[in-house]
Amino acid sequence: MKPELLPWIILFLPLAAAGIIALFTQRNRPVSAVLSIGAVVAGFILSIIYIGWAGWQPAVEESSFTWLVIGDVRADFGLRFDALSLMMLLVVTGVASAIHIYSLGYMREDPGFSRFFACLSLFTFSMLGIVLSISFLQMFIFWELVGVSSYLLIGFWFEKASAADAGKKAFITNRLGDFGFLIGILLVWGIFGSLNFGVLEDKMLENPDALGPVAAVAGLLIFCGAMGKSAQFPLHVWLPDAMEGPTPVSALIHAATMVAAGVYMLCRVYFLLDDSALNVIAWIGGFTSLLSALIAVQQNDIKRILAYSTLSQLGMMVMGVGLHGPTQAMFHLTTHAFFKALMFLGAGSVIIALHHEQDIWNMGGLRKKMPVTFWTFMVGTLALAGVWPLSGFFSKDAILAQAATEQKWALFALGVTVAALTSFYMFRLVFVAFGGSGRSEAAGHAQESPGVVTWPLRLLAVFSIIGGFIYIENTYGRQFLKDEGVHAINVIDQLTFPFKHAPVPALLGLAAAAAGFFLAMKLYSGAAKDPLPEKLGSVARAMRNRFYWDEIYQATVIRMHDFISAVCDWIDRWLIAGLAVRGTHGTTEILGRALRLAQTGNLQTYAFLFALGVALVLYLALK
Amino acid sequence: MNIGLEHYLVVSAILFCLGLAGVLVRRNLLVIYMGLELMLNAANLSLVAFSRFTNNLDGQVFVFFVITVAAAEVSVGLALIVALYRKRQTAHVEDLTTMKL
């Protein structure tokens, strides 16, 4: 079999699994699980084999076939192979494999077990589609598919009204972003005549000013898509609500992969974004980052804290792109996938051990009761806080160093502040949930989760530790800095590279992490309740209420939307159905009734009309 | 007074209109029939008048035909009226309408 076919198989295996499960094996739980897990694990193994055979910069750039031809318009469907897509292939299949296996344990008692695996496989297919797409059109198709999968999975427990609403909110907010995205795509198509990434990149290289006066607008419109998918301000409101879905879903979709699709897309079309667009992107990313970090400080639901943390890190990634650092952003995306998925899975382990308890103030003392979960979660926290030598340190430092290189000191300061806040709220979580002693019945009786849950945790923990120096950044560097090249330095040198190359950001980042840790320890170690609401009063309340953004949207956007829909309803009910349809009906009926009055059945009436007609004809003839 | 063609035609027209009025207004079937005959005879009068004043005998020959046809029509029509009367027991044209309002 030709090795070139491998990526096609990797892409379509999960779709086949989803189809078979949905159509045939819904009642057969073991078979469904085997199909789904098998498809994604096979995908991971085949990805490794393919990359082993083809290398990171394959000679074959694209494998495609013509899908539609309408006049001058050609739409191709195919797969693109370069360092960016191949690396993401590994990340997506790898993290997805771990989460599929974890779901075996987590969803064991759920009646919708098979449906869950079908949706997970559908999602895997769609995400792989985005990662391997060759053109904007194809990416947009898979972009929407990912949105659908997310909707299905967030609203998995659809009987719960809050879950169904959250699914709707996610999908609709995404669609708002996609509206801007689509207009941006159409702009690009109008200017270049093609949507293929390779063709666009070549044309931009030839003529960097090809986009002309609409460059900034096109860039920002395309960024709208990333705003929706990666939950940047102001479209960030759907992500915390998406925690209504099962925890493996939160880990896979809303931490590791789908939300990263926005950042991936920005890096994929980085050559289209000009400096003014990038500046706006950086500031939006930075602002989102700060806003969500502040909100996370006062959240009490373990999954919400992690959700806001994800929002904050996504903001950092987007800021990285905006600071002319796509390599650094993708590096952070990858390490974040490892440790955030790890922490969500760890949270899931805690949640099921405590019988679906999610409030951290009802936990406590889990350090001794669930050691594997605790230690892996600790690894994740240290990585997220940016402690050397874990992966998070290297990737976060890369972004901070980029900010320093670009001399954007405001964003640099913002990044350091966010790092401190991140460390603070994460250690708050750890001290309250795992430290101290059990604050509730369930916490007292907690037990470590079974192997099928803890082994994925261990695996992801390993990657969170080593992810900083296994040449991930190097591989991405080859994609974006082709000519300069990135030198492959050995592991020991990589460990000390940040300190030698850009010591200020590295040391400030570590200082911020330490500051957050000590402050959290002072306030929360052994605490029975949260001391911040008293100390900070209304600020704490604003943080806990997510700075009232949902309420603002409800009062403004939703009300305006309801008003527009009431107007449309009026038009539909009274003008279209009333005037046009029933009006025509009524008029015809009245006319008919009027004409019917002429049929009296009375002989003399008819004779009279007859005589009248003759008189009229005579008059006209003799005129 | 010199009686010219126009006098005959006016009389014929008046007779025709009277006949028509009778058909339209009267309610008894037989009276309606009489009005109808009056209209026919008004036509005959005008035909004869034209024949006399243009010295052309075609008009008078036509009148013969009209009288013959009128006679045949009367026999058939009266037979119909009698049959209708026997069925409906009324000669009022208003009661003969079967269309519902």
Contacts of A603 in chain B (CB under 8 A): 93, 96-97
- Mutation for B interface: A593, A596, A604, A608, most B CBs within 10 A: A604
Asked whether residue B97 is domain-assigned, the answer is no
Contacts of B20 in chain A (CB under 8 A): 611
H or E element that contains A69: strand A62-70
Asked whether residue B101 is domain-assigned, the answer is no
Per-residue b or e along A172-185, where b marks 16 or more CB atoms closer than 10 Å to that residue's CB: ebbebbbebbbbbb
Contacts of B24 in chain A (CB under 8 A): 604, 607-608, 611
A608 in reach of chain B (CB within 8 A): yes
Contact criterion met (CB < 8 Å) for A611 and B96: no
Nearest to A138 by CA among A191, A170, A185: A185
3-class DSSP assignment, residue A403: helix
pLDDT, tens only, A209-236: 777 788 889 899 999 999 988 888 888 8
Segments forming the whole domain that contains residue B49: 5-92
Contacts of B28 in chain A (CB under 8 A): none
Contact criterion met (CB < 8 Å) for A599 and B20: no
Hey, which of A72-81, A573-582, B56-65, B92-101 has the most confident mean pLDDT?
B56-65
3-class DSSP assignment, residue A14: helix
Asked whether residue B69 is domain-assigned, the answer is yes
Measured at the CA of A508, the angle between CA A505 and CA A511, to 5 degrees, comes to 150
CB pairs under 8 A between A and B: 22
A490 in reach of chain B (CB within 8 A): no
Asked whether residue B29 is domain-assigned, the answer is yes
Supply the mean pLDDT for chain A: 87
**Into how many domains does chain B fold?**
1
Distance from CA of A620 to the nearest CA of B (A): 19
Asked whether residue B100 is domain-assigned, the answer is no
Distance CA A13, CA A17 (A): 6
Contact criterion met (CB < 8 Å) for B24 and A607: yes
Asked whether residue B39 is domain-assigned, the answer is yes
With CA atoms as reference, the chain A residue closest to B24 would be A604
Distance from CA of B62 to the nearest CA of A (A): 22
List strand residue ranges (DSSP E) for A157-254, in order.
none
**CATH (domain of B12):** 1.10.287.3510
Asked whether residue B37 is domain-assigned, the answer is yes
- Mutation for A interface: B17, B18, B23, B25, most A CBs within 10 A: B23
Contacts of A607 in chain B (CB under 8 A): 23-24
pLDDT, tens only, A94-148: 999 999 999 988 888 888 899 999 999 999 999 999 999 998 999 999 999 999 9
Of A600, A602, A607, nearest to B23 by CB-CB distance is A607
Interface confidence (ipTM) of the complex: 0.85
A212 in reach of chain B (CB within 8 A): no
pLDDT, tens only, A320-371: 999 998 988 999 999 999 999 999 999 999 988 888 888 888 888 888 888 8
With CA atoms as reference, the chain A residue closest to B93 would be A603
CA distances from A127 to A117, A145, A431 (A): 15, 8, 35
**pLDDT for res B8:** 95
Contact criterion met (CB < 8 Å) for B94 and A611: no
Nearest to A169 by CA among B73, A426, A410, A177: A177
CA atoms within 13 A on the CB side of A212: 5
Distance from CA of A569 to the nearest CA of B (A): 41
Asked whether residue B88 is domain-assigned, the answer is yes
Which of A181-190, A313-322, A535-544, B82-91 has the least mean pLDDT?
A: A535-544
Contact criterion met (CB < 8 Å) for B24 and A603: no
Which amino acid, residue B90?
Answer: T
Hey, which of A60-64, A142-146, A531-535 has the most confident mean pLDDT?
A142-146
Distance CA A409, CA A150 (A): 37
A604 in reach of chain B (CB within 8 A): yes
Nearest to A427 by CA among A501, A513, A541: A513
With CA atoms as reference, the chain B residue closest to A602 would be B97
CA atoms within 13 A on the CB side of A188: 29
- The number of angstroms, rounded, from the C-alpha of A418 to the middle of its chain's C-alpha atoms is 21
**pLDDT for res A483:** 47
With CA atoms as reference, the chain B residue closest to A603 would be B93
- Mutation for B interface: A603, A605, A606, A614, most B CBs within 10 A: A603
Instruction: Tell whether the model's pLDDT for residue A485 goes beyond 70.
Output: no
Distance CA A350, CA A147 (A): 28
Yes or no: say if A293 and A422 are a contact pair by the CB < 8 Å rule: yes
Residue whose token pair is 């209109």: B17
Instruction: Tell whether the model's pLDDT for residue A480 goes beyond 80.
Output: no
